[in-house]
Structure 1
Amino acid sequence: MIVLPAPSRAEWERLADSMLLAVRPWATDTHALLHLPGPMSASGRWSDGLEGYARTFLLAAFRLAGAPGDDPHRTAEWYAQGLAAGVDPANPDRWPRFGECGQAKVEAASIALGLHLTRPWLWDRLSSRTQQRLLDWLAPMVGDDMPQNNWLWFQAVTGAFARSVGGAWSQDDFDHAIDSTDRWHAGEGWYSDGLSGGSHRNFDHYSGWAMHFYPLLFCDITGDAELALRYRKRLRLWLSDYARLIGGNGSPLIQGRSLTYRFAALAPLWIGARCDATPLAPGLTRRIGGLMLDHFVNAGSIDSDGLLTLGWHRRFPAVRQVYSGPASPYWASKGFAGLLLPADHEVWTAPEAPLPVEEEDFEFYLPAPGWTVSGTRSDGVVRVLNHGSDHIDPAELATDDPAYARIAYSTHAAPEMTPPLDSSATLVDADGRAAHRRPLSALEPGVSRSRAHWPADEQWNPFHSPETTYRLGPWITAASVIQGATEVRIVRVDESDEATHPGPWRLRIGGWATVPDSGLHSSLVGLAGLEVAETVLGKDTNPLGPVSSVPVLWSAGPVEFGRIYAAAVHLGGSPLTALPELDITTAAVDVRWPDGRVDRVAMPPV
């Protein structure tokens, strides 16, 4: 039953207008740069100002193109003035060139897309001098070196737009983006955002808001219908999985980098509807969109000044990456791509349809990222057990990024932004320092192995580890099976002749981190070898609230090599009331659930 209706299209328009008006006081006099309040990114204030212009301009473009052209707040005029000033080489507020600031390449794609979408109302009305200056600003992107990930599409999209209006472009750039994207496709519509060590390991929201977003818009600009067929097929496959990764609360999975982009996670759903590339009922697309928008707006993502903050719900600086600046959250503008669908589109007119997790319980495995997924209808919680990917070169010891290295992620619980603690299976030394997991090796579905290692510097980065030293420990094999809201986590530690950390170590299992008044029950119960229980409290470490708690279990003494340890790990709207039983042998562990189901877990030898 649908209890709360999704926002109407008119309500989406009103929110877009209010967000666009809210940023205007932070613009320079020429409108070329928007210096929003907040901590600078690593690229500096100048770059952040361009980001403020470009990302809000993309929002303006969706609003204008979907109207079409109806412009009660003279938005096109406002941004046209900023564009003319930004590409004027004599203007003190001009935009940085790509050679002056690499981040400008990212923002150029938003500007190019926005100009494509609003061409009759903006580009076509610019003076010929301003048009040429914009093309001159874009031109150095042609043939330039780019990071080998979603950035290739910034180059392709800007080149496609430039070609459409008589500017510089390169077929080699287009071919490189297309060929690389084919290599990054890991099957069933799932993209790795580039490769780590030649492997598909970079799974996160970029699969949707970049790898499925830009290629179809590129085809829209170039008119390449044959190529679009390839991307439409992949998006249909991916969306059938993605819909089951949305919680009943409207939240996307709280996993991966750039979480501050929030409802940008809606971009692939809207593009799927626009490009006839979705298996989802129109009313389901609208419901997911409305639930997700309401989820973030009601949780405080927009502050009292009408600005998106750096964070997930509220302002939360610890969710930032080095590239995050005060305007970075406006990548969420992609979440308004639904405005490209006219008011009479069936997405806006069809009856709402319930989310998959609102209809039934489900469990399934995603082979590309190596995720086991469980959703429960009673509480709307979706959980992911990660034994397959971690966004790092498998040959490189690394520190654990909490957004990639945890065993479990959810739509209702967020990882602690700390060294290994929640949703973990780790060894803790006599100094109280926990071993890190990355890189993990996927052994089979639901089973992974990692080399325990202790970095001298525990700072993390999704792309690489800090320049630091590591002490090596034993091997940790971890396995997960799940039924409903309860996972059984099984761990074995094996000795290594190459260890440089002398130990001793105790094994520690971390459960789900939760915040007060979440309505969730997070519990952790020892099933084998874990006898000491503790609750660890956090302050300003969790994206969902200022105070958090994590249940943990410890081995009573030093870990025993070759022994099976196990715990029931629960996250749900109701408490854990019945425990599974384990039958442990040297070859496997049989998990007998209260309803009689038996899961056999093999723990491969080292």
Structure 2
Amino acid sequence: MSSHRTAVDEQQASLSPYTGWTRTHWSALADHLLAAAWRHASPTGALITPPGPPGGYGTAVDGLEGFARTFLLAGFQITGEHGNDPANLLERYAAGLAAGTDPRSPERWTTPREHGQAKVEAASIALILDMTRPWLWDNLDHGVRDRVVDYLAQVVGDHAYPQTNWVWFRIVVEQFLASVGGPFSPDDMAADLATHESFARDGGWYCDGPERSYDHYAGWALHLYPILWSRMTGAQDRAAPLLPTYRQRLDRYLLDAVRLVGADGSPLIQGRSLTYRFAAAAPFWAGALAGSDALAPGLTRRAASGIVKHFTDRGAPDDDGLLNLGWFHPWRPIAQHYSGTGSPYWASKGLLGLALPAEHPVWTATEQPLPVEQADQFAVVAAPGWALSATAADGVVRVYNHGTDHARPGDRSTDSPLYARFGYSTATAPAMDDDGWHCPLDQSVVLLDTHGEATHRSGFTTLDVRALDGDAAVLASRARCHWVTPDPAALDYGSGLTGQAVDAATVTTVSVVRGAWEVRLIHVDPAAAPGWEQVTALRVGGWPVPAAPAEDRSSPIDAPAHPQPASPAAGPGLPVAEAVGTTLTSTAVGLYGLDVAGVHTVRDATPLAAHTAIPWLQTRPQTGWHAAAFALNGGDLAPLAQISGPEDAPVVRVTWPDQVTTTAALPAPPTGPHHHAQNRSSAA
């Protein structure tokens, strides 16, 4: 017994030197998740409703989600085991299908005609009925099959599908219907495939709809479903001419996706539906399923295992084996209003690898290190308007954002903390409490009015996103910054809230980034802004870091602050604020035109810790440029910046802590020059 255990441990260590996880661990996790979920099944098994307050769509939808999303996981596992089913899941899900599609059953499912969310869940059901066809569908009673077809057929010809990743929910359902002789519409499928094409962007990325909605849906939906669909029964003829393009995009996307995984396995904490957690591993498995060679099999498993293990090591699933609405632990604000207790089981997508048999190279290859484990990483990701900078010393991946806000140019909504911040990382989470939604502080540039209300920038125009020499990048955007009084009836779908907006000023923001540091330059132009007379301050915020309660040395952010003493990170006389967190340090240094600094600590604002510390800088704004430096684990020395040249063609020269210099042209002011040429620099 002891010698056998030692041999197994040695095999795991040699096969998986980074995570220790093999296919056995994945299978055990699936067993654990399914056993726990089934403890909350209805008598027939048609509804699986984990405990907790109902979601915004009600308990009936919650129970349907619980069935459909765990069905995904069961189907992946049974497929990879070639139909072997020791837990008797096929029989249990078959009974649930029979009752859920029976209009007379007290456990009948909400139908697609009754509620849009049923269209989402119908897709999961259709996918797994196809994937497990020889072991489940082919053995169902003919009456049950007819009822399943009738249930799914409600989507045919339905014109109420959102023009987002939802188009795939109709494609896969109609594909299954076509394969079993049910009704389907070639016109529906052609239209939905064309809509999907409209989402394609540079670098293999997809945008989830017409807005600038770049998030994990690019991977766990818009790259995943084309691959799954192409493998469905009868899809080959329609998919064949499209599949090379889908694969090419996926190959390119995976090169960015793998760089977005932190050394601790954390995915980027950005975008909606974060409570799906390790669904972030889905695009890596999609690559393996598609036969992609963009990533080596050992790197694919390293990324996927790292993501899943990141959560299982930190409390998800919980002690009862359940995936709750949260991140590591229950935390309802991370979810959207519609999310219910069954919703988190879309995490099942991240376990798609179980559909690959044990002999597949992705399971037999030795793990390879993530990019951030090999060396510092730097890349410009053009489609979402990001610069990616990862540091091997701490394993943290940072993204600087001038292209994503889940809005269209010219929109005047509030900023969603999930999309519109200037920076995101694998080690920090944006503040998502009420103030985080209504009065941005972390990773923000805002104007404050006489009541301390902050402006928003959603609807901005992206001006520049490009790499510079020396592993640096410059990004720029311009916003008609506005205060918003949200519509009280507006619901949280992850994007900003609409309402009555008042313009405060045009604000141009430029980020010059390298390594752990960002030099942020801000130009304020009040021309023709009706709210300018109400502006009392310009405030810029830095990285939010998880902090211990003792870190609560908050300075009020709606009242005048006091200059902080200089620290080793800043030159003489420069205002500096340093938030020392539990494992991270967030630094803000005023380089030019920012007078005061502070650290504000908020409680219960992120799912990572009870306390979050945010450094900030502030001044009474003047027309012209202001400059600051921000870092997450930036070290003891800050960069310096010098702005020179005429007002209509300014240039910034940044000297980094290692004395490397970067020069970048700054955007001309939107209304032309206001001042004579001048030199402005931070203290040397």
User: TM-score by structure 1 length?
Assistant: 0.96
Distance in 1, Cα, partners of 2:582 & 2:256 = 26
Distance in 2, Cα, partners of 1:475 & 1:462 = 27
Q: CA deviation at 1:313?
A: 2.1
Alignment counterpart, residue 561 of structure 1, candidates 601, 610, 623: 623
Alignment counterpart, residue 419 of structure 2, candidates 395, 404, 412: 404
Distance in 2, Cα, partners of 1:272 & 1:467 = 38
Aligned residue for 2:244, secondary structure, equals helix
Q: CA deviation at 1:245?
A: 1.0
Aligned residue for 2:104, secondary structure, equals coil
Q: CA deviation at 1:24?
A: 1.2
Q: Structure 1 pair 543/464, CA: closer, same or farther in 2 (3 Å)?
A: closer
Task: State the partner residue of 1:427.
Answer: 447
Task: Write out aligned runs for 1:313-328 (5 A).
Answer: 313-328=328-343
Q: CA deviation at 1:407?
A: 0.5
Instruction: Say if 1:392 and 1:462, in contact at 8 Å, map to a contact too.
Output: no
Task: State the partner residue of 1:125.
Answer: 139
Q: CA deviation at 1:339?
A: 0.7
Aligned residue for 2:486, secondary structure, equals coil
Task: State the partner residue of 2:229.
Answer: 218
Task: Write out aligned runs for 1:355-394 (5 A).
Answer: 355-394=370-409
Q: CA deviation at 1:465?
A: 5.3
Task: State the partner residue of 1:470.
Answer: 501
Could you give the per-residue CA deviations for residues 487-509 of structure 1, whole angstroms, max 9, x where no partner exists? Answer: 11111111121323522321111
Distance in 2, Cα, partners of 1:124 & 1:260 = 35
Task: State the partner residue of 1:233.
Answer: 248
Greater displacement, 204-213 / 589-598: 589-598
Aligned residue for 1:65, secondary structure, equals helix
Alignment counterpart, residue 447 of structure 1, candidates 476, 484, 492: 476
Task: State the partner residue of 1:492.
Answer: 523
Distance in 2, Cα, partners of 1:485 & 1:460 = 36
Unaligned runs of 5+ residues in structure 2 are: 1-13, 466-474, 548-580, 671-684
Task: Write out aligned runs for 1:266-305 (5 A).
Answer: 266-305=281-320
Instruction: Say if 1:452 and 1:472, in contact at 8 Å, map to a contact too.
Output: yes
Task: State the partner residue of 2:563.
Answer: none
Q: CA deviation at 1:460?
A: 7.1
Q: CA deviation at 1:415?
A: 0.5
Distance in 2, Cα, partners of 1:552 & 1:479 = 17
Matched, 1:526 2:557: no
Aligned residue for 1:204, secondary structure, equals coil
Q: CA deviation at 1:188?
A: 2.0
Task: State the partner residue of 2:606.
Answer: 542
Alignment counterpart, residue 64 of structure 1, candidates 78, 81, 89: 78
Instruction: Say if 2:203 and 2:381, in contact at 8 Å, map to a contact too.
Output: no
Could you give the per-residue CA deviations for residues 211-241 of structure 1, whole angstroms, max 9, x where no partner exists? Answer: 0011111111112333222211110111111
Q: CA deviation at 1:169?
A: 1.1
- The letter for the 2-side match of 1:191 is Y
Instruction: Say if 2:389 and 2:397, in contact at 8 Å, map to a contact too.
Output: yes
Aligned residue for 2:305, secondary structure, equals helix
Task: State the partner residue of 1:334.
Answer: 349
Q: Structure 1 pair 460/356, CA: closer, same or farther in 2 (3 Å)?
A: farther
Instruction: Say if 1:513 and 1:522, in contact at 8 Å, map to a contact too.
Output: yes
Distance in 2, Cα, partners of 1:152 & 1:373 = 30
Alignment counterpart, residue 10 of structure 1, candidates 17, 24, 48: 24
Distance in 1, Cα, partners of 2:226 & 2:321 = 32
Q: CA deviation at 1:179?
A: 0.9
Distance in 2, Cα, partners of 1:317 & 1:413 = 18
User: TM-score by structure 2 length?
Assistant: 0.85
Aligned residue for 2:613, secondary structure, equals strand
Unaligned runs of 5+ residues in structure 1 are: none
Alignment counterpart, residue 571 of structure 1, candidates 609, 618, 632: 632
Could you give the per-residue CA deviations for residues 111-170 of structure 1, whole angstroms, max 9, x where no partner exists? Answer: 011111111111111101000100000001011021001111000000101111111111
Task: State the partner residue of 1:596.
Answer: 660
Could you give the per-residue CA deviations for residues 306-356 of structure 1, whole angstroms, max 9, x where no partner exists? Answer: 100111222111111122111111000000100111111111111111111
Q: CA deviation at 1:62?
A: 0.6
Q: Structure 1 pair 368/160, CA: closer, same or farther in 2 (3 Å)?
A: same
Matched, 1:354 2:369: yes
Task: State the partner residue of 1:515.
Answer: 546
Aligned residue for 1:393, secondary structure, equals coil
Aligned residue for 1:502, secondary structure, equals helix
Q: CA deviation at 1:469?
A: 1.4
Task: State the partner residue of 2:205.
Answer: 190
Alignment counterpart, residue 533 of structure 2, candidates 482, 493, 502: 502
Could you give the per-residue CA deviations for residues 555-602 of structure 1, whole angstroms, max 9, x where no partner exists? Answer: 1xx21112x111111012x63434334344431221122332223141
Q: Structure 1 pair 355/518, CA: closer, same or farther in 2 (3 Å)?
A: farther
Instruction: Say if 1:39 and 1:326, in contact at 8 Å, map to a contact too.
Output: yes
Aligned residue for 2:546, secondary structure, equals coil
Matched, 1:41 2:55: yes
Task: State the partner residue of 1:254.
Answer: 269
Distance in 2, Cα, partners of 1:358 & 1:87 = 49
Task: State the partner residue of 1:436.
Answer: 456
Q: Structure 1 pair 463/414, CA: closer, same or farther in 2 (3 Å)?
A: closer
Aligned residue for 2:424, secondary structure, equals strand
Q: Structure 1 pair 474/462, CA: closer, same or farther in 2 (3 Å)?
A: farther
Could you give the per-residue CA deviations for residues 148-201 of structure 1, whole angstroms, max 9, x where no partner exists? Answer: 0111100000010111111111111211121111111012211011112xxxx1
Distance in 1, Cα, partners of 2:170 & 2:636 = 51
Distance in 2, Cα, partners of 1:553 & 1:102 = 45
Task: State the partner residue of 1:242.
Answer: 257
Aligned residue for 1:115, secondary structure, equals helix
Q: How many residues align?
A: 598
Distance in 1, Cα, partners of 2:213 & 2:603 = 29
Q: CA deviation at 1:462?
A: 4.9
Instruction: Say if 1:357 and 1:380, in contact at 8 Å, map to a contact too.
Output: yes
Aligned residue for 1:403, secondary structure, equals coil
Q: CA deviation at 1:403?
A: 0.3
Greater displacement, 152-161 / 222-231: 222-231
- The letter for the 1-side match of 2:623 is F
Q: CA deviation at 1:260?
A: 0.6
Identity %: 45
Instruction: Say if 2:199 and 2:209, in contact at 8 Å, map to a contact too.
Output: yes
Q: CA deviation at 1:278?
A: 4.1
Q: Structure 1 pair 460/132, CA: closer, same or farther in 2 (3 Å)?
A: closer
In terms of Rg, which structure is larger? Answer: 2
Matched, 1:141 2:147: no
- Which structure 1 residue ranges, 4+ long, deviate > 6 Å from structure 2? none
Greater displacement, 513-522 / 211-220: 513-522
Task: State the partner residue of 2:195.
Answer: 180
Distance in 2, Cα, partners of 1:176 & 1:392 = 24
- The letter for the 2-side match of 1:211 is L
Distance in 2, Cα, partners of 1:158 & 1:43 = 22
